[in-house]
Structure 1
Amino acid sequence: MSTAKPAYAAPLKNPTFYVIVAAAVIISAAMGIRQTFGLFIGPFSYDRGLPVTLVAFAIALHNLVWGFAQPFAGAAADRYGAAPVVAFGATTFAAGLALAAGSPSGIALIAGLGLLVGIGVSCTTFGVVLTAVGRAATPEQRSMAMGIASAGGSLGQVLMVPFAQLVRETSGISTSLYALAFLMLVAAPFGMLLDRRKDVGAPHVAASPAAATVPPLRETLAHAMRHRGYRLLTLGFFTCGFQLAFIATHLPGYLTLCHMPMGLGATALALIGLFNMAGSWACGWLGGRFRQQHVLGWLYLIRGATIATFFLLPKSTVSVVLFAAVMGLTWLGTVPLTSGLIAKVFGTRHLGTLFGVVFLSHQLGSFLGAWLGGYVFDATGSYTLIWAATALAGLFAALLHFPIDDTVHAPVEPARA
């Protein structure tokens, strides 16, 4: 009989507990900070005279850079461990925020919020940090452990959005971005708690007989690309990025157009983060008890229906709050489910790289969601077309996820005592 314990049990005696806490802190900082970017579109446009399309492009570009950098960041963490990757990423992230804060030009904004922040986020979020949790937890508890880490990471969105809003209103754009850069650097040392494996720095040494049977990265990638379920998962994750980036970037501006109270956009983003804590935990729990691809399918259906309902109904403070709550419950629950499904099918040895490839699709969707929102608004004076596309994307993603085959295609991992 297996004596494996939950990854969150006996916390002071279980090293996995510290991995989960460290992961939550780092994700809180990185995801919370990037969630504030939508608050700066108006100020950058009005105060610095930059077109909305350019600001939206800078925010969209960081999603694209994040996606292309993620497989490399994941591969580096697979080989060298998460700690040095997190340290590099946090420093780069902070430098990008500082560059955007210190220069009023569009080029600096694109280089800072677009290029440097994109590289930094790839090293301080899911593909590096959450996969460290996946390796530390037992196979039976992996989905739940990832869900807990994601839920804890949502605290950053709850705190960072009102913090950034307050500092921006009282001290200006530059001070707000400098403060966020400082907080990112404070979170960096927690990366040292992520690496439990003693063989992280020496991939040529097998940690166990089972590890010796793990195929090399090139073979694993080639096999994954031929796997129909992996391809469907990759296509479906594009939708997630498209929906989330559009809402996070353009919801505050859209609510202003609807003559909603000032500050309601920041409140909505914070509420999304608050309810995402419960949603990520619940998705992790459901993923440990039901087939993860089916949970993902229903999640996308609920999200698409919620977006359509919100757009079609009259706007009020109550409808915005309800929309933020439901979106929060379905916000980042896709991440532990998607990474957990990849780990189930292909194992954890190359999890950072395999998730990174899937996440590239997510970030291509994020780029289009953020940039097209600004482009469509500038071209038509309305967000109607992009809201419709965002709602229909939920149905598209659901149809892709339900038929995914989750048959194990990797060596069975030995249970930990």
Structure 2
Amino acid sequence: MPRLPPNPTSPSWRTPLLVIIAGCLIAMIGFGIRSVFGLFLEPMTLTYGWSRETFAIAMAIQNLLWGIGVPVAGAMADRYGPTRVLSFGALLYGLGVWGMATSDTSLGLQLFGGVLTGLGIAFSAFSITLAAMARAVGPERRTLVLGLGTAAGSLGQVLFSPLGQQFISAFGWSAALLILAATALLIIPLALVLPGSDSHPGEPHFDQSLGAALREAAGHRGFVLLTSGFFVCGFHVAFITVHFPSYVKDLGLSPEVGAYALALIGLFNIAGSFLSGAAGTRWSKKSGLAFIYFSRAIVITAMLLAPKTDLTIYLFAAVMGILWLSTVPLTSGIVAQVFGVRYMATLFGIVFFSHQLGSFIGVWLGGRLYDTTGTYDAVWWAGVVLGLLAGVIHLPINERPLARLLSEGD
């Protein structure tokens, strides 16, 4: 029989509001920094005479290592708490971005910008932060809180996109990266506020091992479908983040249009993520995800067929922003709803690994096909097809909580 969870040992000052604020700031910093790396593609490749594929490979490695590291970091956070894991990740993050600024070889870029930065992002990932925030509130508010955390990450993109461009213009791309490396270290003091892994209010407590939780999830058809569908989100987001500024410039538009477009994506995703989280508290999360992926396919198609003007780019960025990370509160919300929050960081980390496989393919394929064909069109159309497939994949998911979570009152 389940028993009520023990009282958390966190200090009295660690209120849910304070945890949510700290978590949002961590998400804002961590996501904001990594969202502007696309701004460095052109200046770095011009400085060193690299091809776009060279930069894209480093960013693809970064996304892959991010994906590989997140389940490991999530398991460590579930066992030891998020503070130490996030602090370690912030140190790696800062070191990796510093190395990007000082490396003048493709191997150095792949090591620092790819491996170290990717692991740093993984161990300071907003997925760990979201799990910690979810533990601070009861089940009825979790999807809303997850939406707030995701929206905060988008606010980071809003702030860091124009700032990153201004830093590059004012100080040069190398100094701009050094500023971002120092900013990543701010995650460390904020991580001290987050609660430990023993807090999961509103749920019965089970002595379930991590291995048992993994086997339970692997045998759940909905978890497999959710993991498969999140691949597409990674493909879309990473390709656009890294290659969109260069795509915009290739159209003959000003470089500032690409930077402002990334900022618009982040700005409108604040609303999209919050609305997604709020909707997930009332309506079917899987239906919301299907709607988002179908809508992405339609929006990309419309952009490709429309005249390429500043207004077209800004409209695309605004609508795509609504759909950008609105998948995250619903996807993570399904994980928490079906399996509970005890091992949420680990389970969502596995789902997120699929996201990062998609990110790796999207970033690498963008660079590869551009260098081969001179255009990004094939990757855009692949994104349309994948969006339609993802919409279909999410419809059969069973969102019902497992029986052990429904027996709280027993």
TM-score interval, normalised by the smaller of the two chains: over 0.9
Identify the residue that residue 54 of structure 2 maps to in structure 1: 54
Give 5+ residue unaligned stretches, structure 1: 1-11, 201-205
Identify the residue that residue 17 of structure 1 maps to in structure 2: 17
Query: Is 371-380 or 13-22 further displaced after alignment?
Result: 13-22
Identify the residue that residue 300 of structure 1 maps to in structure 2: 293
Give 5+ residue unaligned stretches, structure 2: 1-11
Matched, 1:189 2:182: no
Task: Name the SS of the counterpart of 1:411 in structure 2.
Answer: helix
Matched, 1:261 2:227: no
Q: Deviations over 1:275-319 (max 9, x none)?
A: 111010000001101111111110111111111111111111111
Distance in structure 2 (CA, Å) of the matches to 1:106 and 1:50? 8
Identify the residue that residue 91 of structure 1 maps to in structure 2: 91
* Closer/same/farther in 2, CA of residues 83 and 261 from structure 1, 3 Å limit: same
Distance in structure 2 (CA, Å) of the matches to 1:374 and 1:394? 20
Identify the residue that residue 225 of structure 2 maps to in structure 1: 232
* Closer/same/farther in 2, CA of residues 217 and 410 from structure 1, 3 Å limit: farther
Distance in structure 2 (CA, Å) of the matches to 1:282 and 1:15? 24
Identify the residue that residue 378 of structure 1 maps to in structure 2: 371
Identify the residue that residue 393 of structure 1 maps to in structure 2: 386
State the TM-score, normalized to the length of structure 1.
0.92
Paired residues of 1:276 and 1:331 also in contact (CA < 8 A): yes
Paired residues of 1:345 and 1:410 also in contact (CA < 8 A): no
Task: Name the SS of the counterpart of 1:298 in structure 2.
Answer: helix
Identify the residue that residue 339 of structure 2 maps to in structure 1: 346
Distance in structure 2 (CA, Å) of the matches to 1:305 and 1:225? 32
Letter in 2 for 1:56: A
Alignment of 1:296-375 (within 5 A): 296-375=289-368
Letter in 1 for 2:244: L
Distance in structure 2 (CA, Å) of the matches to 1:109 and 1:332? 27
Measure how far apart 1:13 and its partner are: 9.1
* Closer/same/farther in 2, CA of residues 297 and 13 from structure 1, 3 Å limit: farther
Q: Deviations over 1:200-247 (max 9, x none)?
A: 7xxxxx999932x24211111112111111100000000000011111
Paired residues of 2:303 and 2:316 also in contact (CA < 8 A): yes
State the TM-score, normalized to the length of structure 2.
0.93
Letter in 1 for 2:19: V
Matched, 1:112 2:89: no
Identify the residue that residue 102 of structure 2 maps to in structure 1: 102
Matched, 1:249 2:226: no
Distance in structure 2 (CA, Å) of the matches to 1:414 and 1:99? 51
Distance in structure 1 (CA, Å) of the matches to 2:203 and 2:154? 38
Distance in structure 1 (CA, Å) of the matches to 2:132 and 2:377? 40
Distance in structure 2 (CA, Å) of the matches to 1:209 and 1:291? 21
Letter in 2 for 1:319: T
Measure how far apart 1:191 and its partner are: 0.7
Identify the residue that residue 41 of structure 1 maps to in structure 2: 41
Task: Name the SS of the counterpart of 1:136 in structure 2.
Answer: coil
Matched, 1:288 2:281: yes
Distance in structure 2 (CA, Å) of the matches to 1:169 and 1:136? 41
Paired residues of 2:74 and 2:128 also in contact (CA < 8 A): yes
Percent identity between the two aligned chains? 42
Paired residues of 1:23 and 1:153 also in contact (CA < 8 A): no
Measure how far apart 1:124 and its partner are: 1.8
RMSD of Structure 2 on Structure 1 (CA)? 2.0
Measure how far apart 1:393 and its partner are: 1.1
Identify the residue that residue 179 of structure 2 maps to in structure 1: 179
Paired residues of 2:299 and 2:320 also in contact (CA < 8 A): yes
Q: Count how many residue pairs are aligned between Structure 1 and Structure 2.
A: 398
Measure how far apart 1:394 and its partner are: 0.9
Paired residues of 1:296 and 1:334 also in contact (CA < 8 A): yes
Matching residue within 246, 260, 265 for 1:272: 265
4+ runs deviating over 4 angstroms:
206-209, 413-416
Matched, 1:168 2:151: no
Q: Deviations over 1:171-191 (max 9, x none)?
A: 111100000011111232111
Paired residues of 1:136 and 1:196 also in contact (CA < 8 A): no
Query: Is 16-25 or 172-181 further displaced after alignment?
Result: 16-25
Measure how far apart 1:414 and its partner are: 9.0
